Structure 1
């Protein structure tokens, strides 16, 4: 059963990153307009997120994201060993997805990104994107509307592509994978640690907000 869960996480993260990177390359091939490029990238990502979460959630809970797996560990839904295994397959799957996308468009398999993304404004964007993602997922679980998570997550990521300054990476595995492509969706590896740090902060804030709103107050308070 664990092997199936790990394969689902590997496959889901690979397809997600292949979509993000591939649609980014396709967008720049089709149009020099950055706004149109972002729209193409967003639409493809939203569609594939909905499909992947709907199909793979019954198998692995469809994390595809070390942030989600880490919080599942803190909630005692995953053991430490299983959480680490999830992290590994998510990173490997995301990396494979980037490589496949590169090859589909005749780029080098590993094409290190030259796109430096730095600045407090971009890191704040990652905090916001990650906080919202975690908040939405766990509030939906608490409210018993798990079946709506595919739509909710896809909608949040789609919106955050446009309203956050960083265009909403919100996922350490995806961030690492996107350093392997020198394309519209890429990120220079030197920018990766700060982005991941901001994502971790955002995830902690999102979960704290979830706990605050959903924990019943003690009687008399």
Structure 2
């Protein structure tokens, strides 16, 4: 298997297991705490934060552990100036892998809990307040990831990103999807974590806007070229050999 193919597999598996953790913990929360939405959200957010931290630790050395199309897009855009991030070829491999992984992760969560493999969500999530929440959540995520990268602290990304997403479940109105692939995966579940397919475009548009805002903030606060990180392991290996 080529290096790029192995990295795409890591992105697919990592994104899939992230969606499995989001949906699976939501199903478990509904069963353990019926009628208590606050406790369900606490259980769901805690499991997701811990799972995301673990998945970044597992997949980070292989693919950079993006698990998120807007992170990959932001990395590619920044690399066009600095030359040390994700390549265009890698971007084209990452994006479909992340989406496919997210869809598969929803199916896996359902099968583990003996539910139909796919149940289209009827949970409407729409309105300016929720879209603003997604802009804030995504902008903060992008700013966090690339601030760590540009200051040589990428090793802190697993706990920092996990903690941020866990917290953003609570301080954003949208419960912080902040990820187009995860959003698409969550359209396939009519459970606690679901989002109706008709609501997904608004969330994804807000996430893209948030990513742009996060990038603008990074360019303002950290205008210097970023140090080499694990964002593109193949490019790092090539650089090390020269």
TM-score normalised by structure 2 residue count: 0.88
Pairwise CA distance, 1:80? 2.6
Aligned to 1:219: none
C-alpha RMSD of matched pairs (Å) = 0.9
Provide the secondary structure at the position in 1 that maps to 2:203: helix
Alignment map for 1:107-118 (pairs within 5 Å): 107-118=115-126
4+ long deviations beyond 4 Å: none
Pairwise CA distance, 1:141? 0.3
Number of aligned positions between the proteins? 216
Provide the secondary structure at the position in 1 that maps to 2:170: helix
1:24 aligns with 2:32: no
Unaligned runs of 5+ in 2: 80-84, 225-242
Aligned to 2:239: none
Alignment map for 1:84-103 (pairs within 5 Å): 84-103=92-111
**Any idea what the Cα deviations from partners look like across 1:174-208, whole Å, max 9, x if unmatched?**
00000000000000000000100000000100111
Q: Of 71, 76, 80, which aligns to 1:73?
A: 76
Pairwise CA distance, 1:79? 2.9
TM-score normalised by structure 1 residue count: 0.96
**Any idea what the Cα deviations from partners look like across 1:73-104, whole Å, max 9, x if unmatched?**
11232333321221100000010000010111
Q: Of 42, 45, 64, which aligns to 1:42?
A: 45
State how far apart, in whole Å, the 1-side matches of 2:86 and 2:147 are: 19
Q: Of 217, 220, 228, which aligns to 1:212?
A: 220
Moved more, 98-107 or 14-23: 98-107
Pairwise CA distance, 1:3? 1.0
Aligned to 1:5: 7
